[in-house]
Amino acid sequence: MPDVRPAPKPRSDPQFANTLERGLRVLQCFSANAPDLGNRDIAEMTGLPRPTVSRLTHTLVELGYLRRRPDSARFEVGNGVLCLGYPVLARLAFRRVAMPHMRHLALEIEGTVSVAVRDRLRMVSLETFTKRDVLRRQPATGVTIDLVGTATGLGWLVGASTGERERALRELAHSAPESLDAVRADYEEGLRQLAHHGYVYRRAIVRPDTTAIATPLRRRPGDELLVLICALSTPAAQAEALERRAGELLLDASRRISAELLAG
């Protein structure tokens, strides 16, 4: 079953279009983790009433942003969403630049390497190379994970500008206020890790004897903040040495990718 997200509280902003927000919230339910959903699934994930969801999915089908599966009453993303995404993909030169370095890193650590970007309170994988799926998450382009409680999300938080970070925290305060104190504590710990190592890390979050390491990529003003992440197996007897080597390789890949992006 896809992740259930708490329903956001009503907004008092008179300029805020709640119907549009609900339609976009429906589209955000779909991901590589959940490629097809029914109205019941969407209602549970969004907290919206079933009749509201039914009207929204009908409208999104009519506009081409969703399509109904011919073999069931479920929906999948339509070509309209793909067309919206083309301008974003066109400006992401990192895919051509980053992949050789990501591939080299994944082979060296015998793990997974990804580049991710924030989408509200989740991180979306834009490119992935896997030598060995140590986290058993079936990593792939488009897979999403939470911003909160992950090395990827922490890498974004420590690399974000003050304004970007405050916007994300406001979204969190709106959707999951009970998480704010823990996120702020994680952020402070992430700053210490970044100052000491140049990267942040999380151990055994998904599986025992594994480590995820992340660092933000340098960027031009106005560009989206991208995060480079690797995950590897770290058996207890070798964990410190493996993490240190993987961290050094990650930073080297980050420097090379950032330099090529900034020079392009």
HEC profile of 119-154:
ECCEEEEEEEEECCCCCCCCCCCCCEEECCCCHHHH
Listed residues 56, 84, 112: the one ending a domain: 84
Task: Tell me: do 37 and 153 sit in the same domain.
Answer: no
Distance (Å, whole) CA 76 – CA 43? 15
pLDDT in tens, the chain (264 residues): 455 555 555 566 788 888 899 999 999 899 877 889 999 999 999 999 999 999 999 999 998 899 998 888 899 998 778 667 756 665 566 777 889 999 999 999 999 999 998 988 889 888 899 999 988 777 677 788 899 999 999 999 999 999 999 999 998 998 889 999 999 999 999 999 999 999 999 998 888 999 999 999 998 887 889 999 999 999 999 999 999 999 999 999 999 999 988 886
Task: Tell me: do 97 and 32 sit in the same domain.
Answer: no
Q: How many residues does the chain have?
A: 264
pLDDT at res. 264: 67
Question: pTM of whole model > 0.95?
Answer: no
- Residue 154 amino acid letter: L
pLDDT at res. 20: 92
pLDDT at res. 143: 80
Listed residues 67, 84, 101: the one ending a domain: 84
pLDDT at res. 1: 45
pLDDT at res. 34: 86
Largest CA distance in the chain: 58
Q: How many CA within 13 A on the CB side of residue 206?
A: 20
Domain total for the chain? 2
Listed residues 36, 52, 84: the one ending a domain: 84
- Residue 114 amino acid letter: S
Other CB atoms within 10 Å distance of the CB of residue 30: 23
CATH number at 255 reads 3.30.450.40
Task: Tell me: do 62 and 163 sit in the same domain.
Answer: no
pLDDT at res. 207: 85
Q: Which domain holds residue 25?
A: 18-84
Distance (Å, whole) CA 199 – CA 147? 16
Asked if residue 13 is part of any domain, the answer here is: no
Residue 204's contacts (CB-CB under 8 Å, 6 or more residues apart) are 210, 211
CATH number at 62 reads 1.10.10.10
